[in-house]
Structure formats: structure tokens, C-alpha cells
Amino acid sequence: MLSDQLAVMNRDFAPHGIAFNLVQTTRTINPTWAQDGNEMAMKRALRKGTYKDLNLYFVRRVTDDAFGYCYFPTNAAAGSTAFIQDGCTILSSTVPGGSTTNYNLGKTVTHEVGHWFGLFHTFQGGCNGGDSIADTPAQASFSTGCPTGRDSCPSLAGLDPIHNYMDYSYDSCYEEFTPNQQTRMYSFWNQYRASA
């Protein structure tokens, strides 16, 4: 399953010139960590690499019924809380072939890694806010399913970006990051991670 997850990540990010390589897999049995019980203890024990190395943690349960979470890049000194927390915690049943219906094609990782690169949700701030990306239309709230033609901000240009990885659509609906999202990912990479 993890090799399939890596293949999904590489396929989704390839149009943007981004590729991932698996360096190491560590399998740990810890009932507390598996239930997302002590993030800092888990990451302090398991985190590998520098700030430019993506660490993924697959657990059986994620708090607040989420499918995952990931931290935005920031100025993080080695050993700091921000450095230790860096990475993505993912509900293990969302990997390709997992048991989470409609969210088991591996796109949760793509979505969360988008956050790791500095992307907000497309529905950030609703119709009056924004995700700091000019080429994603405004969106009042997250999508569920694959609601073709949805326009939650009818007074603003464009239909909701339901095919964007940074929405909450079904995995089968996800198709893209936009050119401006790519620009932001590279900008955040260069600012926070490239020289780590």
C-alpha cells in the first residue's frame, strides 16, 4: 500500500516538477500513537531528516474525525517544536485500497502535502476571504462528493474548484493544482525548506 501511495503522490505532483523518493519506512506498534494520542512523543521518536524531508505518519485514528493534518512551512530551527511537528499525519485507511469509502485512492496525502508546501484550502475564508491564490475561484465552503457545476459564490467569477486537491471532494474527483498554486509551492519551498 505504501508503494501505491508514493506512486499517487508522484503522479499528482509530476505536472508541477515535484517528485518524492522513499528513503526509509519505519513500522512502529504503539497503541497510543496509533490513536493519534501523543503527536509530540510520536514525532520526537520517529522524525527523520532535515526540514526539507517530508515525514508521513500513518495512524488508525486522527483527531476530530479528520483524514489527516499537516503543518505549514515556517522558520523552524532544528530541534524546535515546529521542526519536530513538521510532516503529515494521515488516517491509514485513506491510502490506495484503504477502507475509507470515497477517500481511499491516496488523495488525502496529496491534499495534506499541499499544506506542507504552504497551500490553504480553496474554501479558505469563504466568498470574502481567499486562499491567496488568484486562479482558484472563491468558494463559500468545502465540497463533498463531486458536485459538478457547484457555484457557492454566485456573485463572483468561476465555479467552485471541486477538482482541486485543496478542496474536500471525493478522491475520484481530484485532478489538479493550479499554476498559481504551483508558484506558491515553489515560493514556500525556496523560502522555508530548500536550504534546510
Give dist(CA 20, CA 9) in Å, integer.
Answer: 7
More confident residue, 33 or 46: 46
- The DSSP letter of residue 65 is G
The top-scoring range by mean pLDDT among 17-26, 27-36, 114-123 is 114-123
Domain map of the chain by residue range?
1-119, 120-176
CA-to-CA dists, residue 32 to 38, 48, 104, 169, angstroms: 7, 20, 24, 30
Determine the straight-line distance between the first and last CA of the chain, rounded to whole angstroms: 30
Which sequence positions are flagged as catalytic?
112
As a whole number, mean pLDDT of residues 121-131 equals 93
- The residues, ordered by sequence, that sit 6+ positions from 64 with a Cβ below 8 Å of its Cβ are none
Tens-place pLDDT, residues 35-83: 656 888 899 999 999 999 999 999 888 877 789 999 999 999 999 999 9
Q: Tell me: domain 1-119, CATH 3.40.390, correct?
A: yes
Q: pTM of the prediction?
A: 0.95
Say whether pLDDT at 33 is over 80. Answer: no
Q: Which amino acid is located at 59 in the chain? A: V
Q: Quote the mean pLDDT of the chain.
A: 94
